[in-house]
Amino acid sequence: MAKDLYEVLGVSRDATEDEIKKAFRRRARELHPDVNKAADAEDQFKELNEAYDVLSDPQKRSAYDRFGTIPGAAGGGSPYGGGYVDFEDLFGGGFGMGDIFSSFFGGQATGRTPMRKEGRDMGVGLRLTLEEVAAGAKKEIVYDRLAPCPDCEGSGLGPDGREITCPDCRGQGRVVTVQHTFLGDMQTSATCKTCGGTGHTIENPCPECEGQGRVPDRQRVTVEVPVGIRDSQQLRLSGFGEAGMHGARPGDLIVTCRIQPHEFFERDGDNLHARANVSIVQAALGAEIELDGIFEDEKVLVRIPEGCQNEQVVRVKGYGMPKFRSESRGDMFVHVNVVVPKKVTKRQRELLEQLAEELGEDVAKERTPFQKLRDAFN
């Protein structure tokens, strides 16, 4: 039997969203492999993260409460489609909650290099359909980051807490040590381990964030995708990257748009290319055919010119992609494929032979026994 997810987090079944978040952060600090050196620490952390993935999402939690299985797991029988927008980490390797906690632990004073207070930029790749690009879309992205601590509002101060000058470096951020050797006194300077090079420490720090002013959290943000955006074009969401320490400037979230291939259209800048089949009669005499456009329920009338050749391209103005930050559209280019029938009836053959005679063209008139038998049935 799989473990109860509520037991894994150590919360009751009626726990609030905030209680679930705090319980996860508390348990994650105990189990993260950077802190816990037990042989099974990594497995326990993965189990904890899986429980949080389900219970922190309202849809997944509801499904788990109803069916007792993990939504999306093999045999789980998830009753709904995935609630997350598909995204990929631009910096490779995946960037999940485990990596966020590693950054959190790395935010503590190490004594090696000055502690970075400003938040770093983060990047995700958002996958879009061509229809979404044409119409514009609002997409929800769910990602993990170091977010401002909700208990201290990012200050890092606990009850009656205050920022004081570091007593070890006296606000300099670096500690000078002198070693007495037979060659004389040698002086070295290193980042202060107590304050991490900031020159300040916190008296009575916030217990939730341990004085950093930020905590690992799961962030939901809605991205407005503008009409006509190009593949690999980036959107910058100010302040939605990694939170800074003690209220320092946060980083930005950089969203790179990844446009998926379309089954019918091929995009070329603001233009669309499509293929259309026409018969030899339509190609010879000309015709009007109707194709589906890029917008829902949009119909495009394509006029096939008389004497149209195979692979000829017909241009339909104003039915391409909407242009970025413009009210105009590109064009649609229809590549004509003249379809020659593989089989014809006896009557159709007679008509084609008459046409060939009218045009002065030589055609095969000898019929094979099989063709004669087939014509007899036709």
For residue 68 the two structure tokens come to 């007792």
- At position 219, the amino acid (one-letter code) is Q
192 has binding-site annotation: yes
195 has binding-site annotation: yes
What is the distance between the alpha carbons of residues 60 and 79, in angstroms, rounded to a whole number? 9
For residue 323 the two structure tokens come to 């242009």
Q: Would you give the end-to-end CA distance of the chain in angstroms?
A: 67
Please, is 118 exposed, middle or buried when counting C-beta atoms within 10 Å of its C-beta (0-12, 13-18, 19+)? middle
What is the distance between the alpha carbons of residues 198 and 169, in angstroms, rounded to a whole number? 10
What is the distance between the alpha carbons of residues 96 and 219, in angstroms, rounded to a whole number? 12
308 has binding-site annotation: no
257 has binding-site annotation: no
3-state SS record for the chain: CCCCHHHHHCCCCCCCHHHHHHHHHHHHHHHCCCCCCCCCHHHHHHHHHHHHHHHCCHHHHHHHHHHCCCCCCCCCCCCCCCCCCCEEECCCCCCCHHHHHHHHHHCCCCCCCCCCCCCCCEEEEEEECHHHHHHCEEEEEEEEEEEECCCCCCCCEEEEEEEEECCCCCCCCEEEEEEEECCEEEEEEEECCCCCCCCEEEEEECCCCCCCCEEEEEEEEEEEECCCCCCCCEEEECCCCCCCHHHCCCCCEEEEEEECCCCCCEEECCEEEEEEEEEHHHHHHCEEEEEECCCCCCEEEEEECCCCCCCCEEEECCCCCECCCCCCECCEEEEEEEECCCCCCHHHHHHHHHHHHHHCCCCCCCCCHHHHHHHHHC
- At position 111, the amino acid (one-letter code) is G
Binding residues: 149, 152, 166, 169, 192, 195, 206, 209
Binding residues for Zn(2+): 149, 152, 166, 169, 192, 195, 206, 209
